[in-house]
Amino acid sequence: MQIKRRLKLGVLGSGKGSNFKAIADAIDAGRLDAEVCIVISDVETAGILDLANTRHIRAEFLPPGRFRTKLEPEAELRLVELLREAEVDLVVLAGYMRMIKVPLLEAFPSRIVNIHPSLLPNFPGLAAWKQALDAGAKITGCTVHYVDNGMDTGPVILQAEVPVLPGDTPESLHARIQIAEHTIYPAAIAKVAGSAGK
């Protein structure tokens, strides 16, 4: 008899950790059969590390080095080491502001997921909600997708639409997109967990 084990998650984040909190809350509520084994940030003062500590989840700061948009090669290798030590099945990017490079992509092929605040392939890259407003879009949203070596180009797992309302500012639109993110990210991970169990 095969015993199904919970999906082990490693979460990478650079900010306050609202998506990590949504995932952890979904696990606590029994909506997601997974466990967060480690949280890693490239920002020493990131709120996501405080949230992990509060929940008694291993929290690690990884000094990123001299680059602004990626890790130093040595840091990238250390990141892989930390995730392997924690026996992670799926790497979850939750507001992680660095490009993922080959060592991590090779160590976790088709096992890295990200959430992006637009309906990809529309508006990849930074400040996607502002891009949507500037383009006059009537509908935007968020996308959970697998990570590949491009910028927000991996296969889509789940999307949610968010209407652009008259009078929306970048801040008001982003706030509503984040509410949708907090719903679909745990659902997308549950979907990945379900397909991994087959």
Catalytic residues: 116
Calpha distance 66→51 (Å, rounded)? 26
DSSP letter at 82 equals H
The helix or strand, by DSSP H or E, that contains position 59, with its residue range, turns out to be strand 58-61
- Cα 135 to chain center, whole Å? 25
| Residue whose entry in the numeric block shows the structure tokens 């924690």 | 86
Short-list 193, 31, 6, 13, CA closest to 115: 13
The CA-based angle 30-35-39, given to 5 degrees, is 130
Q: Identify whether the C-beta of residue 113 lies closer than 8 Å to the C-beta of residue 23.
A: no
Calpha distance 156→3 (Å, rounded)? 29
Neighbours of 25 (CB within 10 A): 13
